[in-house]
Amino acid sequence: MPQQNLKQLYIDELKDLHNAENQLVKTLPKMAKAARSPDLKAAFEKHARETDGQVSRLEKVFSLLEQTPKGKKCEAIEGLVKEGQEGIKEFKGSPALDAALLATAQAIEHYEISRYGTLIAWAKRLDMPQAIKLLQQTLDEEKNTDEALTELAEAVINAEAQEAA
């Protein structure tokens, strides 16, 4: 693929991700509010703060490119958020609510991990070392969040089983 086309694809995908992170800035506090487990609440609150920083990092990447992050909507995150909202409604007041929130959160983190991984590969090909560093910092946060959620999932499922018994 000619370098110029890859660069355009890279910019388009960065815009999509910037929109995705902005959607998550709004969604994560709602998920924190909905969570029953205090640990899960705290995990969502922590990642909401990290996500603010991730938006700023992406904006730095755009300023390095002398571009603005406008004109894209991430339909994938919009869809995952919608599914998550259905879960919150359906399982409100039920011990399964946290399990539903965790499942949505992990689907979101996996999407982000895949996107940041791809963007880092493209930034390497395009020889953009500052962008690689910024994107890698965010990828590390997404991976750590996913791991923390995996641990919480076990605790939450155990607590729910006890509550149901």
Residue from 10, 14, 15, 16 binding Fe ion (CB under 5 A): 16
Contact region for Fe ion (CB under 5 A) — 31-39, 89-97, 104-112, 157-165? 104-112
DSSP designation for 9: H
Residue from 14, 48, 74, 100 binding Fe ion (CB under 5 A): 74
**Residue 3 beta carbon to Fe ion: minimum distance, rounded to whole angstroms:** 23
Tokens describing residue 74: 């991430």
Question: What amino acid occupies position 56?
Answer: S
Select from 82, 93, 98 the least CA-distant residue to 32.
98
Residue 54 found at the interface with Fe ion (CB under 5 A): yes
**21 vs 98 by CB, closer to Fe ion:** 21
Contacts of 130 (CB under 8 A, 6+ apart): 61, 64
Residue 23 found at the interface with Fe ion (CB under 5 A): no
Q: What are the DSSP calls for 81-114, one per residue? A: HHHHHHHHHHTTTSTTHHHHHHHHHHHHHHHHHH
- Give the C-alpha separation, 145 to 135, whole Å: 15
Residue nearest to Fe ion (CB): 74
**Residue 16 beta carbon to Fe ion: minimum distance, rounded to whole angstroms:** 4
Residue 48 found at the interface with Fe ion (CB under 5 A): no
Residue from 14, 100, 128, 142 binding Fe ion (CB under 5 A): 142
- Give the C-alpha separation, 92 to 36, whole Å: 10
Contact 60, 18 (CB under 8 A): no
Residue 76 found at the interface with Fe ion (CB under 5 A): yes
Contact region for Fe ion (CB under 5 A) — 19-27, 85-93, 120-128, 146-154? 19-27
Q: Which residues bind Fe ion (CB under 5 A)?
A: 16, 21, 51, 54, 74, 76, 112, 142
